Amino acid sequence: MQEFFQQVVSGIAIGGIFASLALALVLIYNAMGLVNFAQGEMAMFATFVAYALINRGMSYWIAFPITLVLAFGGGILIQRLVIKPVERAPVLTLVIITLGLATLVNGFAGFIFGYVPRSFPSPFSADSADLFGVFISYRDMGVIAVSGLVLLGVYLLLQRTTVGLTMRAAAHHPEASRLLGVQVSWMLALGWGLASAVGAVSGIMVAPILLLEPNMMQSIIIYAFAAAVLGGIESPLGAVIGGLIVGVTVNLAGAYLPGVGGDLQLAVGLAIIIAVLIARPNGLFGRAAIRRV
Amino acid sequence: MMPRLRNAPPRYWLVVIAVVFFLGFPTVISSFQSSLWAQALILAIAVMGLNILVGYSGQLSLGHGAFMALGAYTSAILAHRYKMDYLLTIPIATLFTGLVGFLFGFPALRLSPLYLALATFALAVVTPSLIKRPEGLTGGVQGIILIQPDPPPFASDLFAAVTGTAMTSDQWIYYISLFCALLLFWVAWNLVRHRPGRAMRALRDGEVAAAAYGVNIAGFKTLAFGISAFYAGIAGSLFGLATGFVSPDTFPVSLSIQLLVGAVVGGLASIPGPLLGAIFAYFLPIEANQWVPSQSWIPDQVASTVKNAGPAVSYGVLLILIMIFAPNGIVGLIRAGYDWLYRRLRGATDRETGQLPPDPQTV
Amino acid sequence: MPNLLELKEVHAGYGPRSVLHGVSLSVPEGGIVSLLGANGAGKTTTLRAITAGVRWSGDIIFGGRSLRRLATEEIVRAGIAHVPEGRGICTELTVDENLKLGSHLRRDGAEVRKDYDRVFEYFPVLKERRKLSASTLSGGEQQMLALARALLMKPKLMLLDEPSLGLAPLVVRAIFQIVKSINQASRVAVLLVEQNARIALELSSSAYVLEVGRVAVSGASADLKDNESVRRSYLGY
């Protein structure tokens, strides 16, 4: 039983990481009805930036916010350079472009940083604390705390600030927003910046667990897809809850399901995606899509 | 309709020239080069399959590498474990993959194209680890080594009569691949010209409208997926034959990306597009990997990084640039160039009747 | 009275299809002007041209400044509130959030609070439903929300596109009454597009009648209302 709870807690920790990346996907989906296949690679690249900063002797807690700011700027830059020229193109065109972006960023990271896996520091001690008989590592607690803070921050930004309000309006009602003086195109860019920064958090949190290399996020993005689809791809809250469910499920499946083990955990992610899409395509918190003729 | 017909390039002659070229090509290049070209032709078959799905029915699959893997492993397992003649396994593997694709198409038909892209991408990422698991069947990480067939006497004699040397199995496999490619391109051409093709195009251009015109949406979406998997299956099966080896790493995500690059670069919703696109996508990394280390001014360390990162960077840049600037790919550019030249040669007299080209957005 | 808005020979259309063929009209400061005409005459397109929702040529001058090459956002920031066809309510957001979008560009906090009080005085129902999703409002309530939101933008000019569409006659009366009070209280000029010519002419001081993209008749509202032949041939009542 004790081991079970430990598995659940580390599932929540890894789920928080999935949730951050899933939230990034949802932000862009809401802004332009698009799944950004490059989200994971952008996060990986930001993690390399953090690595480079820390390697130059910068302290972790200074490098972390600087990386987020750089990721934010990078997201805006990508939106302006690559996405804006095709803003009105059909969604499949945009998907192919984000896939090209994913491939490009992946190759670019390999070009600059190479393919040798590197260990990435964690600011949290590897020790465990005894909470009512369940041993919980400080790392798991730290990851849960950081993810929680980020998700709370995004929630407050979107729900409680004017910028957040105009971002939501621009995403859902671009034409009406323009008539209210909202600079829709820049709001979309801001959405990309925000998504990029939130995604970067997931990269930085997962790097100490996985080792940093250009293909690091390839499996994480699948779990994030699963989380976003499970939560209902347009619901930020759904992404968070979906992330936690996927994290715990994958962790428990790896530990207890015979035949799954470490190497087929990813297949569990795929199974979740397919099961949700077949049984409940709108996810737990999504609304049924209305087709316009 | 009439001006377009008059503007059309002399297609039949192009087809004849292409067939003669590909038939004669192995007589002038090395056996090893033939093997590479065989693989390019095989890739072209898979890209054609993807093109039927994306270009003609507006659904995006990012997991066609997984269907290739299915075709390849079906053949490899039948040939290796059950000692079947490899050539006989090809139709079995193809039909099996097509059937699986058809079944996969059932849930897929309920999904928006975006979700389908997402699910198939996940499938492509998971495929290598799914293959590794049943070790007894698939050989796990080691994969399965295949015996390449010797050319039959009639082919060998014919080849010897032309070139003076005996035919190698690589060259024989080239001709098998060419035969399959020609057959499947002909099938695709017939498909898009007739009723299923029109229905699928109607589907791509507007699902609700297509339904209003009486197109059986579910049926055709599933059919398109099945046909497209059928193409990927035969390509996978041939690919195992051509490389003489299948392993989980033969079918990484990047293979699915390579197929998409081939489809996009060549030109979606066109018949010659997949051929041109596949040749391009196949030879780009190979040529680049030969060229870069041969340049003395590029330091060795940079050269080795380029070797690893080069394909991803160039594929990524290509996907982005082509989707932004030339959504109809090479074929679109050739057509635009031809139209421009035609109008130039015809002069101003024809300008009145010259129609604008159709909207370049095809997906 | 000086003109706040002036359209000079405006041509506009969608792609190759041209809809306006040289429309000239003007709205005086603080005035109410009706733009009437049958379906497809180009009334909505005229409004959309003013806020850069459609390509146009000719000239549009607002407050002495040409609107040529300005983006929608810039035109709106210059002081034009456009309540579009279908009201442009953000149904994903709450009533309160919709109102906040109206005032989000303003920096005069105290004035904004006063305007909110005024808005809730005009439309008490909105105050009751502040926390609810705008999608739960009825058609009339949504029209009220759109008007309230436009008012909170503190515009110099309001463009209203068929505020009566789909509403019960009593609701229409009430809404037009409020438009009049808003116009009188804060000297906001109004350019009103309407199918319901009778009620529009009662409200406005002058009017233009469009016919297939051209101004067919114009003049003081009272004159048009009393002119039997204009009424018969253009206004249909």
Place of tokens 């945009």: A94
Whether the CB-CB separation of C188 and C182 falls below 8 Å is answered with yes
Q: What is the CATH number of the domain that holds C53?
A: 3.40.50.300
E-assigned strand segments in chain C: 3-14, 17-28, 32-37, 55-62, 65-66, 80-83, 157-161, 189-193, 206-211, 214-220
Please indicate, yes or no, if residue A291 is contained in any of the structural domains: no
Domain count of the fold of chain A: 1
Residue C50: pLDDT over 90: yes
**Nearest residue in A to C152, CA atom:** A180
**Chain A interface, mutation test: which of B203, B320, B359, B363, most A Cβ atoms within 10 Å?**
B320
Q: Do the bridges between strand C80-83 and strand C157-161 make them parallel or antiparallel, or are there none, so unpaired?
A: parallel
Q: Within a domain: residue C187?
A: yes
What local confidence, expressed as pLDDT, does residue B208 receive?
65
Asked whether residue C44 is assigned to any structural domain, the reply reads yes
> For an interface test with B, which of A92, A115, A293 has the most B Cβ atoms less than 10 Å from its Cβ?
A92
Rounded distance between C-alpha atoms, residue B231 and residue B185, angstroms: 10
DSSP C32-100: EEEEEE-TTSSHHHHHHHHTTSSEEEEEEEETTEE-TT--HHHHHHTTEEEE-TTTT--TTSBHHHHHH
pLDDT, tens digit, for every residue of B277-301? Answer: 888 888 888 887 777 777 777 777 7
| Domain contains C125 | no
What span, in angstroms and rounded, lies between the C-alpha atoms of C224 and C202? Answer: 11
A120 within 8 A of A212, measured Cβ to Cβ: yes
The pLDDT score that the predictor gives to residue B359 is 42
Look up the domain containing A118 and give its range: 2-279
Query: Is residue C93 in a domain?
Result: no
Taking domain B2-252, whether its CATH number is 3.30.70 is answered by no
Residue B10's pLDDT band (boundaries 50, 70, 90)? Answer: low
C-alpha B239/C-alpha B242 separation (Å) is 5
> Per DSSP, what are the bridge partners of residue C94?
C133
Quick one: which of B167, B169, B139 has its CA closest to B155? B167
For residues A112-121, give the mean pLDDT: 90
pLDDT tens digit sequence for A37-77: 999 999 999 999 999 999 999 999 999 999 999 999 999 99
- Neighbouring residues of C48: CB distance < 8 A, sequence distance ≥ 6: C12, C54, C84
Q: In this model, does residue C161 exceed pLDDT 90?
A: yes
Tell me how many domains chain C contains.
1
Joined together, the tokens standing for residue A257 give: 């399901």
What pLDDT band is residue A291 in, cutting at 50, 70 and 90?
very low
What pLDDT, on the 0 to 100 scale, is given for residue B1?
38
Is C85 in contact with C44 (CB distance < 8 Å)? yes
Domain membership flag for residue A293: no
- Full residue range of the structural domain in which residue C22 is found: 3-88+154-235
CA distance to partner chain A, nearest, from residue C93 (Å): 8
B/e letters for A251-276, b = 16+ CB within 10 Å, e = fewer, are: bbbbbeeeebeeebbbbbbbbbbbeb
Note whether residue C24 is domain-resident: yes
pLDDT at C51: 93
Q: What are phi and psi of B145, to 5 degrees?
A: -95, 135
The verdict on residue C23 lying in a domain is: yes
pLDDT tens-place string over residues A119-174: 999 888 888 887 777 788 888 899 999 999 998 999 999 999 999 999 999 988 88
SS3 content of chain C, % helix, strand, coil (to 5): 40, 30, 30
* pLDDT(B214) > 80: no
Dist CA B148 CA B146 (whole Å): 6
- Residue A288 domain-assigned (yes or no): no
Beta-carbon separation of C76 and A179 below 8 A? yes
Does C167 reside within a domain?
A: yes
Contact A92 B363 (CB under 8 A): yes
- Any contact of C with B, at least 3 CB pairs below 8 A? no
> Does any domain span residue A284?
no
Q: Is residue C186 one of the residues assigned to a domain?
A: yes
Which is more confidently placed, A224 or B59?
Answer: A224
H or E stretch covering B342: helix B329-346
* Mean pLDDT confidence for C11-31: 90
**Across the interface, which of C82, C100, C104 has its CB nearest the CB of A179?**
C82
